[in-house]
Every structure is written in C-alpha cells, then in structure tokens.
C-alpha cells in the first residue's frame, strides 16, 4: 500500500479567518474546538438542520455564529462537511457557486468513491476546491456536547486528493488536521473504500446483524439481562447512527458486497468444523485469530 504519513508537528503556524462546519456534532464540533483552541481560526460558523443542536454548539463555544449554507459558502475560507454522505452532494450544489476562489472544502465522510462522484457532479468547475478526507475517530456519544478538542490526537486522518487539487490546498487541509493532533495519510479513494469496508464497515454490519438477531429471539429479555462484557464490546458499534451507517453501506455497496461474499464461505466452513467436532481445525482457526488480534493490539 502506497501511503504518505505525516505526524503532527510541534509548531503548525497558519490562520483561517473564517471556518465553517456543516454538521456540528462530535466530529465537526471537535474539529472546530481544536482549531479555535490552537488559535488557527478567526470566526467559526456552524451550519446544520437542527437549530437546537446549533444553539448548544454556540453555548459550548464550539462555534461563534450560526449561519445558513449560503452564508457559509460566501464567507468561508475553509469548510468541513461533517454530515451523512447522502446529503453531501446537495450541500456542495448549494455552496459551489458561492465559494471564494481560494476557499477549500473538505469532508469527514466514511466513504470516498461515491462522495467524490457526488462532489464532482455538484461542484463541477469548482471540484478542484474539494479535498476529500476521513478522520478515523469517534465515540459512543454524539452531538455537540460530546465534542472533544483532543478527539483527533494521534488518530489517523485519511486524505484522498483529486488530480485537480493543488499542492497548496492539500497542504492546508493537512495542516488543519495536524493542528488537531492527527496523523495524516494519503491513499487513493478506491483503496480507502476497500480497506474501510474490511476494518470498519463490515464489522459494524456484523455487530448490527447480531444485535438484531438476539433481540428477535424468544429469550431476548433474559439473554440481554445475563450478557456480559464480551457481548457489550462486540455490540458497542451497533449503537451508531442508523442514518450514517445506512449511507455508508449504500455508498460503499461494491466493497460491502465483496466482504459479505468472502465471509459466507468462511462462515460455512467454520460451521462444518463445529458440526464435525473438528477439534484440531477449530483450535487452529481460533489460535490464528487470537494471535492476529494480540499482535494488532500490541501495535496500537
């Protein structure tokens, strides 16, 4: 895998007069707060469909003013779109014609190929001002109250630049995330979607599938009452936003279907091991998985 890694520098001196965050929840709010705390943003505008949430972000000091998409498009030097992937195209359609020539737009969506296609269709000749991104950070909590300026510290942020992007614009997006304490990496959009289908999207699919299966059983009440930490850890991610994960599965459909197709024969194979009481086969399979998980944990 060809990856360009850059650790957050100790000194990252830049200043953006007007920053807009579309979707001031955990991801967008944490980004805004980190830039404000570091003195990298003059005025932060908050944009969203939930006025109560925006008012809360204002009270918490995550943003300086509530704005419309049109106001943000006209005034901003830098815009982060932190919304479900399904609405990014509509957002870009509105702000595109209003963007200042030097303004930069980036996103925090978990898929990239479809997002880039939507952005191209909406921004048209302004596509060069869009630098796709994906911060690999999160929490069980959501909304502006969950925003944490240290959320991205030593966390990966993936950029998937477009051929049209200028080196200076890519550098500025990189600087913004580095100012949040992140490790910035660049890979292709196709590789991004394939990798995150494996390590993020499909695991969520399995967790949600398992949780729905348990809840539909006749003994679900007793089962949930007796469930321990293993169940809690495995099903934690099933508690994520249905809207966001619905969009991820559809947006990354090809890679998701490939993961399912690879998984089904493995499921059947291990099922056969259990049916055959294949002690050696089961032990070898479980040992391989256990060693791989421990090795990964040691490197985190």
Same domain, 37 and 86: yes
Same domain, 198 and 101: no
Residue 158 CA to residue 134 CA, distance in Å, equals: 5
* Class of residue 235 by CB neighbours under 10 A (exposed 0-12, middle 13-18, buried 19+): middle
Residue 83 CA to residue 25 CA, distance in Å, equals: 9
- Cα distances (angstroms) measured from residue 225 to each of 154, 213, 218, 221, 222: 37, 16, 13, 6, 5
Q: Which of 165, 187, 209 is the last residue of a domain?
A: 187
Query: Number of structural domains, the chain?
Result: 2
Same domain, 152 and 20: yes
pLDDT band at 223 (very low <50, low <70, confident <90, very high): confident
Same domain, 219 and 255: yes
Q: Which of 171, 187, 203 is the last residue of a domain?
A: 187
Same domain, 231 and 138: no
DSSP letter string, 60-106: TTS-SEE--HHHHHHH-SEEEE-S-GGGHHHHHHHHGGG--TT-EEE
pLDDT of residue 227: 86
Same domain, 119 and 153: yes
Q: Which of 187, 206, 241 is the last residue of a domain?
A: 187
Sheet of strand 41-47, all strands in order from the earlier edge strand to the far edge: 65-66, 41-47, 16-22, 78-81, 104-107, 130-131
Same domain, 124 and 212: no
Predicted TM-score (pTM) above 0.85: yes
Tens of pLDDT, residue by residue over 239-273, are 888 888 998 999 999 999 999 999 999 999 999 99
Type and span of the H or E element at 55: helix 51-59
pLDDT of residue 140: 63
Same domain, 170 and 205: no
Per the structure block, which two tokens stand in for 226? 């007796």
Tens of pLDDT, residue by residue over 268-290, are 999 999 999 999 999 999 999 99
Tell me, what CATH number does 283's domain have? 1.10.3660.10
Tell me, what CATH number does 42's domain have? 3.40.50.720
Q: Which domain holds residue 166?
A: 4-187
Q: Residue 174 above 90 pLDDT? A: yes
Same domain, 123 and 219: no
Q: Residue 14 above 50 pLDDT? A: yes
In the DSSP assignment, the letter for residue 6 is: E
Same domain, 152 and 219: no
Same domain, 172 and 273: no
Same domain, 117 and 216: no
């Amino acid at each position: 895998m060809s990856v360009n890694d850059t650790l957050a520098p100790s000194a990252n001196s830049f200043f953006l007069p007007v920053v807009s965050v579309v979707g001031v929840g955990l991801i967008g709010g944490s980004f805004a707060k980190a830039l404000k705390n570091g003195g990298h943003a003059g005025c932060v505008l908050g944009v969203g469909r939930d006025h109560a949430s925006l008012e809360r972000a204002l009270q918490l000091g995550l943003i300086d003013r509530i704005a419309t998409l049109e106001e943000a498009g006209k005034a901003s030097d830098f815009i982060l779109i932190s919304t479900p992937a399904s609405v990014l195209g509509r957002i870009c359609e509105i702000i595109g014609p209003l963007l200042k020539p030097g303004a930069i737009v980036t996103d925090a969506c978990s898929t990239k190929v479809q997002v880039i296609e939507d952005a191209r269709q909406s921004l048209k000749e302004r596509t060069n001002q869009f630098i796709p991104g994906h911060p690999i950070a999160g929490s069980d909590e959501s909304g502006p109250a969950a925003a944490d300026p240290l959320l991205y510290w030593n966390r990966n942020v993936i950029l998937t630049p477009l051929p049209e992007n200028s080196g200076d614009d890519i550098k500025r997006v990189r600087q913004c995330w580095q100012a949040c304490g992140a490790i910035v990496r660049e890979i292709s959009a196709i590789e991004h979607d394939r990798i995150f289908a494996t390590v993020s999207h499909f695991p969520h699919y399995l967790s949600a599938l398992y949780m729905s299966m348990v809840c539909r059983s006749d003994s679900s009440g007793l089962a949930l009452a007796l469930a321990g930490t293993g169940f809690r850890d495995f099903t934690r991610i099933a508690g994520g936003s249905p809207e966001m994960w619905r969009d991820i599965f559809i947006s990354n459909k090809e890679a998701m279907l490939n993961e399912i197709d690879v998984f089904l024969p493995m499921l059947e194979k291990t099922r056969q091991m259990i049916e055959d009481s294949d002690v050696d086969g089961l032990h070898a399979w479980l040992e391989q998985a256990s060693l791989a998980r421990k090795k990964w944990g040691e490197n985190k």
